């Protein structure tokens, strides 16, 4: 089914090398022989609530959930009362997300009216090592009732030398005045592939804040559909991708302003080394009547090698007249002036390059408010700095 | 300490330095004055090792070694420092981190252990106080959003932290009001000693009222056309550069 869905992808896949998905002969992933501990393998610090999917299946051994009243984190099969949301079809131009709708397992996170998750909730998607190419699918449903708030750290990672592919459909529903911070960390490695369809709807004065941090992986494609349905909703989309080797990442987003006074702030940055490629396609669509919309979409890219490539397309489609919309895309290289300045102070050429790359990326890490996570991300950023002799 | 002999250099296809010679001993302060376009900044950049310049003839010896053969960071570690005319803004790199990386690179080069973060912070706070810089500037990105005067003050802070043997000041006075100029000059004067040399490149005599040079050289057309004591600077201020350029011998036609 996943193969047919892939074949149906047309629009918006012009720059996407689907061969990474069509090449290997993916079979549905089985249950791993042994459940390995998460310690030392996940980036997110311990001490948060935690749940994990291993090869697309809820793994009870990994669950650490002592949740306060009004907050639940459940496997898909155990969640009730979500029929409408579960049966809601994915956008017609996202057949992969529609294919993931039939996933047997997933995460269901719910926060009741005016309740608040006392600690962040860490959701882990793991593909365990296997002898052959395996794929898994999962659903993620996050429902915050009016006035509720939560912080999520979603981490996807894969292990082993065989190709793996996760296809995920995520739906986030924020009630009036609800607030969700959604950190999405990708560490897929040299054989990991990730396709994600993420739909977010915001009621009045709801706020959705997303930090997408891609620390590498063979292939990552994300399609975001955010809809600001209620007045005065606010959406923040921050992103950082650090790509090297022959890695590929593709960010497609459509943010729809359907009500008055919505605010969007989108900034994606990418550092692209070696033969890696990055695609950014960010559309903000302002519907008729969505007056006083205040939206910005920016994509900034740093190319570190001759063979690195980027396609950037930040754009607007505006059908209201009283709006403030700004957009921009930039592709640059390391500043020779800055390199010389650092070297003239005794800092070696390689170290100077690393320092400048770090500086470019650290802006996005600095935007993460969750302190222990920010520190772990800063370390990961250090670990992804280009090697010597760029 | 520094011996420049018959230096010829070009930027792209344009010859800028055309046979410049200059000798600077430890403990001396030399001023290089000259009109715009005479090659003052080119000289500073070539000594610091900025890419983009081609030396076509001549030599530069620093402490008996071939300076031009060294990478810019090696020059810095060996004790050469250029205070930039236009300091570069580096968003995302804190001034504090930058200074620490530079300082520890120098220590490592000298075979000394790196200074730890706590001790270094104390050290630079004292240095910042010396140049009357608000310590909050240590936490800001290098030169980002600094005013012209703050940038120059930051150059002098780096000078004070890195304690070079040979300091080149490229138009350090440009863009400074008189109070900032005094602070910058005081910072430099505090560092004058018998083991350290300064080459002060400036268009105006004003700075030399505060950093009094031992020798003054006039650079014009890519060569030093006149040298003298500090009184030469005063004379230049009164008469302009025209009188020297007019009376200087015509450059030799290459054979």
Is B161 within 8 Å of chain A by CB?
A: no
pLDDT band at B244; cut points 50, 70, 90: confident
Token pair, residue A32, equals 């791993």
CB distance B8 to B55 below 8 Å: yes
| Average pLDDT of span B125-145 | 93
Residues of chain B in contact with residue A344, where contact means CB-CB under 8 angstroms, are 48-50, 72-73, 75-76, 81-82, 84
Which of A338, A340, A346 is facing B51, going by the closest CB pair? Answer: A340
Name the minimum distance, in Å, from the CA of B242 to any CA of chain A. Answer: 34
| Average pLDDT of span A359-372 | 93
Is A13 within 8 Å of chain B by CB?
A: no
pLDDT, tens digit, for every residue of A10-23?
Answer: 777 888 888 899 99
Does residue B106 surpass a pLDDT of 50? yes
What average pLDDT does the structure give for chain A?
94
Does residue A305 surpass a pLDDT of 50? yes
**Low-confidence winner among A30-44, A215-229, A243-257, A264-278 (lowest mean pLDDT):** A30-44
**What DSSP line would sit under B66-99, residue for residue?**
EGGGS-HHHHHHTTEEEE-SSPPPEEEEEHHHHH
B57 DSSP β-pair partners: B8
Does residue A262 surpass a pLDDT of 60? yes
ipTM of the complex: 0.94
Q: Please tell me the distance from the alpha carbon of residue B97 to that of residue B95, in angstroms, as a whole number.
A: 6
CB distance B100 to A366 below 8 Å: no
CB distance B10 to B194 below 8 Å: no
**What DSSP line would sit under A158-217, residue for residue?**
E-SSS-EEEEEEEEEEE-TT-EEEEEEEEE-EEEEEEEEEEEEEE-TT-EEEEEEEE--E
CB distance B169 to B199 below 8 Å: yes
Q: Please tell me the distance from the alpha carbon of residue B181 to that of residue A367, in angstroms, as a whole number.
A: 38
Residues of chain B in contact with residue A302, where contact means CB-CB under 8 angstroms, are none
Q: Please tell me the distance from the alpha carbon of residue A170 to that of residue B79, in angstroms, as a whole number.
A: 58
Which of B81, B84, B91 is facing A359, going by the closest CB pair? Answer: B91
Q: How many residues does chain B have?
A: 255
pLDDT of residue B251: 55
pLDDT band at B249; cut points 50, 70, 90: low
**Contact between chains at A348 and B51 (C-beta distance less than 8 A):** no
Q: Please tell me the distance from the alpha carbon of residue A292 to that of residue B244, in angstroms, as a whole number.
A: 66
Higher pLDDT, A285 or B247: A285
| Region for residue A289 given its phi and psi (left: phi exceeds 0; alpha: psi -120 to 50; beta: otherwise) | left
pLDDT of residue A165: 97
Task: Give the whole-number percent of chain B exceeding pLDDT 70.
Answer: 96
Buried b (16+ CB within 10 A) or exposed e, A115-137: bbbeebbbbbbbbbebeebbbbb
**Contact between chains at A349 and B73 (C-beta distance less than 8 A):** yes
Q: Which helix (H) or strand (E) segment is A110 a member of?
A: strand A106-111
Residue from B34, B60, B64, B29 nearest B166 by CA: B29
Does residue A196 surpass a pLDDT of 80? yes
Is B158 within 8 Å of chain A by CB?
A: yes
CB distance A231 to A57 below 8 Å: no
Is A340 within 8 Å of chain B by CB?
A: yes
Residue from B173, B170, B120, B182 nearest B148 by CA: B173
**Low-confidence winner among A142-146, A171-175, B97-101, B245-249 (lowest mean pLDDT):** B245-249
**Contact between chains at B82 and A348 (C-beta distance less than 8 A):** no
pLDDT, tens digit, for every residue of B172-230?
Answer: 888 888 888 888 899 889 999 999 999 999 988 889 999 999 999 999 999 999 999 99
A30 DSSP β-pair partners: none
Is A334 within 8 Å of chain B by CB?
A: no
Residue from A226, A235, A295 nearest A256 by CA: A226
pLDDT band at B252; cut points 50, 70, 90: low
Which of A344, A349, A355 is facing B48, going by the closest CB pair? Answer: A344
Q: Which three-class secondary structure state does DSSP give residue A371?
A: helix
| Average pLDDT of span B16-31 | 96
pLDDT band at A390; cut points 50, 70, 90: very low
Token pair, residue B87, equals 């300091």
**Contact between chains at A335 and B91 (C-beta distance less than 8 A):** no
CA dihedral B17, B21, B25, B28 (to 10 degrees): -60
Does residue A75 surpass a pLDDT of 70? yes
Does residue B247 surpass a pLDDT of 70? no
Token pair, residue A248, equals 């590929």
| Average pLDDT of span A249-273 | 97
Does residue B255 surpass a pLDDT of 70? no
Q: Please tell me the distance from the alpha carbon of residue A149 to that of residue A194, in angstroms, as a whole number.
A: 27
**Contact between chains at B101 and A341 (C-beta distance less than 8 A):** no
pLDDT of residue B117: 87
Residue from A79, A80, A58, A56 nearest A138 by CA: A56
Does residue A376 surpass a pLDDT of 80? yes
**Contact between chains at A340 and B72 (C-beta distance less than 8 A):** yes
pLDDT band at B248; cut points 50, 70, 90: low
Q: Which three-class secondary structure state does DSSP give residue A21?
A: helix
pLDDT, tens digit, for every residue of A334-355?
Answer: 999 999 999 999 999 999 999 9
**Low-confidence winner among A100-114, A141-155, B170-184 (lowest mean pLDDT):** B170-184
Is A341 within 8 Å of chain B by CB?
A: yes
Token pair, residue B217, equals 């050289």
**Low-confidence winner among A2-6, A57-61, A115-119, A317-321 (lowest mean pLDDT):** A2-6
Q: Which three-class secondary structure state does DSSP give residue B5?
A: strand
**Contact between chains at B92 and A363 (C-beta distance less than 8 A):** yes
Token pair, residue A222, equals 């994300």
Task: Give the whole-number percent of chain A exceeding pLDDT 70.
Answer: 98
pLDDT band at B19; cut points 50, 70, 90: very high
Q: Please tell me the distance from the alpha carbon of residue A261 to that of residue A208, in angstroms, as a whole number.
A: 15
**What DSSP line would sit under B153-169, residue for residue?**
HHHHHHHHHH--SEEEE
Higher pLDDT, B245 or B218: B218
| Average pLDDT of span A364-369 | 94
Residues of chain A in contact with residue B51, where contact means CB-CB under 8 angstroms, are 336, 340
CB pairs below 8 Å between A and B: how many? 76
Q: Please tell me the distance from the alpha carbon of residue B241 to that of residue B87, in angstroms, as a whole number.
A: 27
DSSP, res A116: B
Name the minimum distance, in Å, from the CA of B217 to any CA of chain A. Answer: 25
Does residue B84 surpass a pLDDT of 70? yes
Is A360 within 8 Å of chain B by CB?
A: yes
pLDDT of residue A100: 96
Q: Please tell me the distance from the alpha carbon of residue A198 to that of residue A213, in angstroms, as a whole number.
A: 15
Classify residue A218 as exposed, middle or buried by CB count within 10 Å of its CB (0-12, 13-18, 19+): buried
Query: Helix B95-109 and helix A336-343: axis angle, to 10°?
Result: 50
| Chain B contact probe: residue of A344, A357, A366, A367 with most B CBs at under 10 A | A344
Phi/psi at A217 (5° precision): 165, 150
Rg (CA), chain A: 20
Does residue A271 surpass a pLDDT of 60? yes
Does residue A387 surpass a pLDDT of 70? no
pLDDT of residue B250: 54
Is B88 within 8 Å of chain A by CB?
A: yes
| Average pLDDT of span A131-135 | 95
pLDDT of residue A7: 82
| Chain B contact probe: residue of A335, A339, A341 with most B CBs at under 10 A | A341
Residues of chain B in contact with residue A343, where contact means CB-CB under 8 angstroms, are 49, 71-73, 76
Which of B50, B77, B92 is facing A346, going by the closest CB pair? Answer: B77
Which of A338, A360, A362 is facing B88, going by the closest CB pair? Answer: A338
The answer, as to whether pTM is greater than 0.90, is: no
Phi/psi at A139 (5° precision): -115, 150
pLDDT band at A389; cut points 50, 70, 90: very low
Non-local (6+) Cβ contacts of A294 within 8 A are: A261, A262, A263, A264, A323, A324, A325
CB distance A269 to A361 below 8 Å: yes
Q: Please tell me the distance from the alpha carbon of residue A372 to that of residue A375, in angstroms, as a whole number.
A: 5
* A105: Cα within 13 Å, side-chain hemisphere: 16
Higher pLDDT, A92 or A3: A92
The C-alpha angle A301, B53, B69, rounded to 5 degrees, equals: 105
Non-local (6+) Cβ contacts of A112 within 8 A are: A69, A70, A71, A145, A148
């Amino acid at each position: 089914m996943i193969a047919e869905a892939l074949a149906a992808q047309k629009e918006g896949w012009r720059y996407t090398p689907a061969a990474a998905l069509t090449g290997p002969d993916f079979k549905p992933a089985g249950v791993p022989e042994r459940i390995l501990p998460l310690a030392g393998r996940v980036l997110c610090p311990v001490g948060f609530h935690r749940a994990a999917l291993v090869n697309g299946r809820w793994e009870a051994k990994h669950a650490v959930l002592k949740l306060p009243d009004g907050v639940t984190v459940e496997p898909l099969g155990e969640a009730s009362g979500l029929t409408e949301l579960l049966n809601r079809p994915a956008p017609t131009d996202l057949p992969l997300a529609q294919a993931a709708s039939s996933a047997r397992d997933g995460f269901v996170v719910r926060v009741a009216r005016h309740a608040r998750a006392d600690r962040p909730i860490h959701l882990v998607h793991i593909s365990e090592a296997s002898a052959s190419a395996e794929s898994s699918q999962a659903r993620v449903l996050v429902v915050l009732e009016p006035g509720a708030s939560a912080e999520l750290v979603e981490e996807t990672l894969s292990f082993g030398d065989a190709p793996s592919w996760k296809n995920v459909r995520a739906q986030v529903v924020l009630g009036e005045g609800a607030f969700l911070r959604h950190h999405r960390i990708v560490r897929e490695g040299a054989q990991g592939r990730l396709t994600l369809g993420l739909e977010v709807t915001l009621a009045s004065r709801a706020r959705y804040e997303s930090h997408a941090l891609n620390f590498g992986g063979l292939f990552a494609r994300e399609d975001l559909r955010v809809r600001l349905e209620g007045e005065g909703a606010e959406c923040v989309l921050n992103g950082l991708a650090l790509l090297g080797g022959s890695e590929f990442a593709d960010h497609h987003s459509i943010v729809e302003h359907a009500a008055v006074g919505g605010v969007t702030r989108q900034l994606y940055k990418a550092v692209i080394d070696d033969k890696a490629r990055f695609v950014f396609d960010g559309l903000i669509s302002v519907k008729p009547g969505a007056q006083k919309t205040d939206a910005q979409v920016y994509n900034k890219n740093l190319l570190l090698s001759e063979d690195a490539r980027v396609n950037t397309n930040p754009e607007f489609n505006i059908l209201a007249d009283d709006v403030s919309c700004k957009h921009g895309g930039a592709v640059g290289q390391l500043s020779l002036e800055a390199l010389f300045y650092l070297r003239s102070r005794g800092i070696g050429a390689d170290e100077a390059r690393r320092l400048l790359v770090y500086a470019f990326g650290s802006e996005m890490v600095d935007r993460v408010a969750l302190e222990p996570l920010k520190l772990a991300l800063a370390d990961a950023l250090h670990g992804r700095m280009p090697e010597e002799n760029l | 300490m520094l011996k420049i002999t018959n230096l010829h250099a070009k930027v792209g296809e344009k010859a800028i330095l055309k046979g410049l010679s200059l000798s600077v001993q430890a403990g001396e302060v030399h001023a290089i004055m000259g009109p715009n376009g005479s090659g003052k900044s080119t000289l500073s950049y070539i000594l610091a090792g900025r890419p983009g310049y081609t030396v076509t003839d001549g030599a530069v010896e620093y402490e008996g070694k071939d300076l031009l053969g060294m990478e810019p960071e090696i020059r810095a570690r060996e004790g050469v420092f250029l205070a930039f005319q236009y300091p570069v803004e580096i968003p995302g790199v804190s001034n504090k981190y930058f200074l620490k990386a530079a300082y520890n690179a120098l220590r490592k080069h000298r075979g000394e252990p790196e200074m730890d973060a706590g001790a270094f912070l104390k050290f630079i706070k004292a240095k910042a106080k010396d140049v009357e810089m608000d310590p909050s500037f240590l936490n800001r990105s290098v030169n980002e959003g600094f005013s012209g005067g703050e940038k120059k003050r930051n150059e002098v802070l780096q000078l004070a932290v890195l304690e070079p043997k040979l300091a080149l000041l490229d138009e350090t006075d440009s863009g400074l009001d008189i109070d900032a100029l005094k602070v910058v000059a005081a910072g430099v004067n505090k560092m004058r000693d018998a083991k350290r040399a300064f080459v002060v490149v400036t268009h105006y005599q004003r700075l030399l009222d505060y950093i009094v040079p031992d020798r003054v050289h006039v650079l014009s057309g890519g060569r030093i056309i006149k040298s003298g004591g500090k009184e030469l600077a005063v004379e230049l201020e009164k008469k302009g550069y025209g009188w020297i350029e007019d009376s200087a011998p015509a450059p030799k036609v290459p054979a």
